[in-house]
């Protein structure tokens, strides 16, 4: 049994897209925290109350931040019930706190029914809190404490969700395309490339502008969670308002205001281009991105050593796979015409390399929700170093 370690030291869990664990791991290390476990779609790390705030506000590629309450082995519902009941829930949930099991998932475990796992977990917590608070009835009319339960090979992990709405919801994307790429996935894709603010970046299928906006926020060092709220902000007995205030002020101080970048977003639909501009304005990066209505067939650039980072159509979005061969052939032709550029594209289209006419230097499998996609990486030459 692993128990809660006290507010000075906790185990925090950050779920992410499958295939992007290494990107998130580096982000957490860069924030200054020690990794304790890496598993499929999840990174566990040690931290304190400030770490909860920093991770929620500062991590670009995580889906949410969970406080691990405990873990144990369970092969029967009785073992699940007893394991959950033994955990120190009174240290987390006040007497009038509203708590429920938001989600349960099970992989390669004897217990596999999410609804049963949820109901038994809730019952066990109620019974534990009855003993702790010497009551038979809870009002549950105060702060919210959503709980998540994971089972992997009969090992149960129980955690509190500090985030609320997924971290991909930065707050800037009020308007979006029919099949937008999630903000945290877009950020992860950019982080998988060598791009930095000194190099040109073009997204020729920008849709509502997510990839260019995330790139601009990175270049300006704008923390992704600065302009949104989190469930744990009401947990004042665990994390003080001052913790949140200090981390937000710290993030504000680290923004780079004087920056010159060349980031461009194109889309065939003028309405989408306008939506992208509105979203960029909300994100505070509208002056850093040039959006325009342009067909992929018209893609050209006179400068060398640029980057294409994009999420082109692949049938799921447009519902017509017949046009994909021509589209990807055009992508390949336009890329070939660019001088010493690199191209990175995520797609679920299995024939992408065939019609682009070039084998990718690297190919990474990434799950975009339930859709298996590939991140094709065509790496151009590095620019020569500037002389002293």
* Cβ burial 89-108 (10 Å sphere, 16+ → b, else e): beebbbeebebebeebebee
Give me the residue label for tokens 């620019």.
383
What pLDDT shows up at residue 4?
A: 44
- Determine the average pLDDT of the residues in 13-34: 97
- Separation between Cα atoms, residue 231 and residue 226, nearest integer Å: 14
24 in a structural domain = yes
User: For the segment 267-285, what is each residue's pLDDT rounded down to a tens digit?
Assistant: 999 999 999 999 999 999 9
DSSP per-residue codes, 190-201: HHTS---TTS-E
Give me the residue label for tokens 């710290």.
250
What pLDDT shows up at residue 317?
A: 52
Q: If DSSP codes are grouped into helix, strand and coil, which group holds residue 77?
A: helix
171 in a structural domain = no
Give me the residue label for tokens 């791009």.
195
Q: Can you name the residues that pair with 84 across neighbouring β-strands?
A: none
Whole-number mean pLDDT of the chain?
94
* Claim to verify: residue 359 and residue 325 sit in the same structural domain: yes
Residue 222 · residue 255 · CB < 8 Å: yes
* Claim to verify: residue 345 and residue 263 sit in the same structural domain: yes
Which residues, other chains included, contact 363 with Cβ-Cβ below 8 Å and sequence gap of 6+?
Answer: 374, 375, 376, 377
> The whole model's pTM is what?
0.94
The domain that holds 196 is classified in CATH as 3.40.50.150
User: For the segment 291-331, what is each residue's pLDDT rounded down to a tens digit?
Assistant: 999 999 999 999 999 999 999 998 765 456 788 999 999 99
Share of the chain above pLDDT 70, in %: 95
Per the structure block, which two tokens stand in for 240?
């003080």
Residue 14 has pLDDT above 60, yes or no: yes
- Determine the average pLDDT of the residues in 20-46: 97
What pLDDT shows up at residue 320?
A: 65
* Claim to verify: residue 259 and residue 314 sit in the same structural domain: yes
Residue 42 · residue 92 · CB < 8 Å: no
What pLDDT shows up at residue 386?
A: 67
What pLDDT shows up at residue 219?
A: 98
Q: How confident is the model at residue 3 (pLDDT cuts 50, 70, 90)?
A: very low
- What is the total count of domains within the chain? 2
47 in a structural domain = yes
What pLDDT shows up at residue 387?
A: 56
* Claim to verify: residue 24 and residue 157 sit in the same structural domain: yes
- Separation between Cα atoms, residue 376 and residue 172, nearest integer Å: 28
Q: Which domain holds residue 116?
A: 2-161
Which residues, other chains included, contact 239 with Cβ-Cβ below 8 Å and sequence gap of 6+?
Answer: 49, 52, 53, 162, 232, 233
């Amino acid at each position: 049994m692993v128990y809660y370690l006290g507010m000075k030291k906790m185990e925090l869990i950050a779920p992410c897209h499958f295939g992007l664990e290494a990107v998130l791991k580096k982000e957490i290390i860069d924030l200054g925290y020690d990794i304790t476990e890496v598993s499929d779609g999840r990174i566990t790390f040690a931290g304190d109350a400030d770490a909860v705030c920093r991770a929620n506000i500062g991590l670009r590629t995580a889906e949410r931040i969970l406080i691990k309450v405990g873990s144990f082995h369970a092969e029967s519902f009785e073992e699940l019930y007893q394991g959950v009941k033994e955990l120190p829930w009174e240290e987390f949930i006040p007497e009038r706190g509203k708590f429920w099991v938001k989600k349960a998932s099970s992989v390669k475990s004897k217990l596999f029914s999410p609804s049963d796992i949820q109901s038994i977990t809730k019952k066990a917590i109620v019974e534990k809190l009855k003993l702790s608070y010497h009551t038979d009835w809870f009002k549950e009319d105060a702060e919210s404490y959503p709980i998540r339960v994971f089972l992997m090979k009969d090992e149960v992990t129980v955690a509190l969700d500090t985030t609320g709405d997924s971290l991909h919801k930065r707050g800037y994307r009020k308007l979006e395309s029919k099949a937008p790429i999630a903000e945290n996935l877009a950020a992860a894709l950019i982080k998988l490339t060598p791009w930095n603010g000194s190099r040109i970046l073009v997204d020729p299928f920008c849709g509502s502008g997510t990839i260019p906006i995330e790139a601009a926020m990175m270049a300006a060092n704008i923390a992704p969670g600065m302009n949104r709220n989190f469930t744990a902000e009401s947990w004042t007995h665990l994390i003080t308002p001052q913790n949140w205030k200090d981390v937000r002020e710290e993030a504000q101080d680290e923004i780079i205001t004087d920056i010159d970048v060349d980031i461009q977003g194109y889309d065939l639909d003028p309405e989408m281009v306008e939506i992208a501009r509105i979203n960029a304005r909300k994100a505070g990066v509208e002056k850093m991105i040039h959006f325009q209505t342009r067909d992929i067939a018209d893609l050209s650039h006179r400068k060398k050593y640029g980057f294409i980072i994009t999420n082109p159509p692949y049938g799921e979005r447009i519902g017509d796979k017949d046009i994909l061969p021509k589209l990807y052939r055009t992508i390949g032709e336009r890329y070939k015409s660019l001088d010493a550029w690199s191209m990175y594209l995520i797609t679920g289209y299995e024939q992408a390399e065939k019609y682009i006419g070039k084998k990718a230097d690297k190919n990474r499998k990434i799950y975009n929700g339930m859709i298996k996609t590939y991140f094709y990486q065509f790496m151009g030459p590095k620019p020569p170093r500037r002389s002293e």
